[in-house]
Amino acid sequence: MFYLDSEEVLNYENAKGLILKFQGQYMPRLKKLNDYYNNKNKINSRCFEDENKPNNKISHSFGHYITETNKTMFLGKEISYTGDGELTDYVDTLDAADEANINTQIATEASKYGYAIELIYIDEEGQLQFSVLDNLHTILVYDNGIKPKLMYAIRF
């Protein structure tokens, strides 16, 4: 997490400094976690000097397996919404925005990286939309109070 004083305004220099700090301190860990999830490890690229020597080790994506298991246990059956009366419009809005699928993506990202970032916005047509932002390209900036509040999100 990144913190700024609550009176401090985010400007180009602050944003640039936060991005550089994120890329230096946090990005390597997030990339490593993503590689574990995608089964990119040293076993896959292992070579021996002696080409006749057997290379029998099989790589397995335990990160992917654990993430899928956690996601399934956390969400269980896909979330569905029903309602009548005043709730019908709200339920229709959630269905139109594919909110159930977004929840699945959020659970996957949270399992991979330890946190997930969701953007909720109104599109050009006035419809509610949900989007999962990439943890590798988004920085969350909080104030440094006792109970930190999200001040900014930098997407680069």
- Cα separation, 68 vs 53, in Å, equals 35
> Does residue 67 lie within any of the structural domains?
yes
Paired with 142 in beta bridges are: 3, 150
> Does residue 49 lie within any of the structural domains?
no
> Does residue 47 lie within any of the structural domains?
no
pLDDT band with cut points at 50, 70 and 90 for residue 19: very high
Domain count, the chain: 1
- The string of pLDDT tens digits covering residues 20-78 is 999 999 999 999 999 989 988 877 777 778 878 877 777 788 888 988 888 888 777 77
> Does residue 135 lie within any of the structural domains?
yes
pLDDT band with cut points at 50, 70 and 90 for residue 126: confident
> Does residue 78 lie within any of the structural domains?
yes
> Does residue 50 lie within any of the structural domains?
no
pLDDT band with cut points at 50, 70 and 90 for residue 88: confident
Provide the 3-class DSSP secondary structure of residue 118: strand
